[in-house]
Amino acid sequence: MNQGIGSWSARRARKTPDRIALVHEDRTWTYRDLHERVLRLAHALRAQGVGRGDRVAYLGPNHPTFLETLFATGALGAVFVPLNTRLTAPELAYNLTDSGTRILIHAEPQGGTAREAARQADAPRLIPLGPAYEDLLTTATPTPLDEPVTPDDPCMIMYTSGTTGRPKGAVLTHANITWNSVNVLVDTDLAGDEVTLVVAPLFHTAGLNMTCLPTLLKGGRAILHSAFDPDQVLHTIETHRVTCMFGVPTMYDAMAARPRWATTDLTSLRTLNCGGAPVPARTIAAYLARGLAFSQGYGLTEASPGVLYLDASQTSAKAGSAGVPHFFTDTRLVAPDGTDAAPGERGEILVQGPHVMTGYWNRPADTEAAFADGRWLRTGDVARTDADGYAYIVDRVKDMYVSGGENVYPAEVEDALLTHPAVAECAVIGVADPVWGESGRAIVVLRPGTDATETDLLDHLRARLAKYKIPKSVVRADTLPRTASGKLVKPALRRTYGDPTP
């Protein structure tokens, strides 16, 4: 009767019980092992009073227990709430209260934060990982469960990063996640012998829904890293013969900057997915030099998340593009007046498909505002398409600024800055300007051992961009604020550097 994600471990265990499903550090779990632990946890949660529709949250780094909790929650018809380990106790308390979480399972390193968040939320019961968690599983029965769960039932509440205002919980159904996985399988040709390195956080939609779950659906092997370390990633790729991984540009740049990059055996890699931000041209070039082509993409939490996908075969021909819509996805680019943008014109991306969320948790007004005509999800991202229909992400609607009547999209300026050999990271924001209304300011992190003056960097841009796009000022910084998924936190940059005078 269970047609949802909670049945996946049972379906895989009956097909490939002895195949390795998960690897973490020095331990492995077969699909039979995973399913038995899922059943035990489901019965343990039921004994704690968890039933249909109840929310169960998880706070911790990548670990098999994350997936056990997801599948066990789904087996009961309950709703899974993955939590960002970078959040503070008050931020977590908000998510717990907003979702009405009943039980919070947490890793020990997050124990103090979890206890404080639970105290502030005044609701969830805590289950710490370790001996207490294992005791629960040992004393629970592994007898089969088959609760009635439909594809349209809610599977998880995944909170957006909250870079603007309070985070909102996107309600993703079992069908949403299944269809997103189908899109991945169709467009990336994942195989049953896939060895997927999952180093992006599982609490982030790309790490979970674009890599890990499609791999498990196909019966492949997922290697879980609790944190990103570029040397460890390169070692794992070589020793485990990794075939597939997902990362954001900053992760791939960090790997390419390591001394062992040139000598690591990367020949096993078949799929390198990159998302979270436009992939800089220099990153593409560094990997092409090693014979590796990126499969780039674009998505958002509310779409589970895949929207656009660029096959590796088009990496050079369509450099900088996010691709075309996934197989079971439809998109439109809409101009500010509501008309469809022509090829070459900029427009906001609208998306529809069976993977698009049903709405925001307990936020009917925000849900209504998120959908154009009640049908198309408004992404808030701006793109243009070429004559072949390939989309190029320009920027966020809210990140664009107007200088002297001209629209300036910071991502374009940032990509040009990143071609300077001294620039490691950069961000561009608009600041008030008495003459032009707004002008650009570049915040730049330089590579260790290099130097570049403001004049150097602006001269570099003058050879590449129109005059109105050139920032009027450059500010040096040691680091840039980013979300757990690697995205720049532009509101934080504006608060710190948005004063008209640097």
CATH number for region 293-396: 2.30.38.10
Torsion over CA: 94, 98, 100, 104 (sign): negative
> Widest CA span of the chain, in angstroms?
73
Cβ atoms of 382 and 408 closer than 8 Å: no
Among 26-30, 277-281, 338-342, 470-474, the range scoring the smallest mean pLDDT is 277-281
Question: What digits encode the pLDDT tens for the residues 432-445?
Answer: 888 787 899 999 99
Residue 409: per-residue pLDDT: 76
Q: Transcribe 209-234 into DSSP letters.
A: IIIIHHHHHHT-EEEE-SS--HHHHH
Cβ atoms of 278 and 327 closer than 8 Å: no
For residue 266, count other CB atoms closer than 10 A to its CB: 17
Residue 258: per-residue pLDDT: 96
Among 84-98, 240-254, 406-420, 453-467, the range scoring the smallest mean pLDDT is 406-420
Average pLDDT over residues 71-77: 98
What is the residue-averaged pLDDT of the chain?
A: 93
Cβ atoms of 109 and 42 closer than 8 Å: no
Name the CA radius of gyration of the chain, rounded. 23
Cβ atoms of 40 and 66 closer than 8 Å: no
Which residue, 339, 307, 312, is CA-closest to 324?
A: 307
Q: Where are the domains of the chain?
A: 5-149, 293-396, 401-497
**Alpha carbon distances (Å) from 96 to 21, 58, 69, 100, 252:** 30, 10, 16, 6, 33
Which residue, 363, 346, 498, 347, is CA-closest to 428?
A: 498
Question: What digits encode the pLDDT tens for the residues 379-408?
Answer: 988 899 999 999 998 877 778 787 876 778
Q: Compute CA 35 distance to the chain's CA centroid, rounded to the nearest angstrom.
A: 26
Residue 402: per-residue pLDDT: 76
- Report helix, strand and coil shares of the chain as percent, to nearest 5: 35, 25, 40
Average pLDDT over residues 125-153: 97
Residue 502: per-residue pLDDT: 61
Which residue, 343, 334, 349, 345, is CA-closest to 380?
A: 349
DSSP letter, residue 483? -
Cβ atoms of 191 and 181 closer than 8 Å: no
Residue 399 zone, left/alpha/beta (φ > 0; ψ -120 to 50; rest): alpha
Helix (H, G, I), strand (E, B) or coil at 353: coil
* Encoded tokens for 246: 């997902």
Among 93-97, 118-122, 279-283, 448-452, the range scoring the smallest mean pLDDT is 279-283
* Encoded tokens for 245: 């991984």
Of all helices (H) and strands (E), which one includes residue 81? Answer: strand 79-83
**Fold identical between 5-149 and 293-396?**
no
Cβ atoms of 444 and 457 closer than 8 Å: yes
Residue 485: per-residue pLDDT: 67
How do beta strands 406-408 and 401-403 pair?
antiparallel
Q: What gap in Å lies between CA 224 and CA 212, rounded to an integer?
A: 9
Domain 401-497 superfamily per CATH: ANL, C-terminal domain (3.30.300.30)
pLDDT surpasses 70 at 66: yes
Residue 501: per-residue pLDDT: 67
* The residue type at 478: D
Among 82-86, 180-184, 401-405, 464-468, the range scoring the smallest mean pLDDT is 401-405
Which residue, 306, 61, 307, is CA-closest to 206?
A: 306
What count of residues does the chain have? 502
pLDDT surpasses 70 at 161: no
Of all helices (H) and strands (E), which one includes residue 55? Answer: strand 55-59
Residue 163: per-residue pLDDT: 46
Q: Between 3.20.20.80, 3.40.50.12780, 3.30.565.10, 3.40.50.1360, what CATH number should domain 5-149 receive?
A: 3.40.50.12780
Question: What digits encode the pLDDT tens for the residues 173-202?
Answer: 999 999 999 999 999 989 999 999 999 999
pLDDT surpasses 90 at 25: yes
pLDDT surpasses 80 at 500: no
Question: What digits encode the pLDDT tens for the residues 415-424?
Answer: 889 999 999 9
Q: What gap in Å lies between CA 498 and CA 502, rounded to an integer?
A: 8
Q: What gap in Å lies between CA 152 and CA 351, rounded to an integer?
A: 19
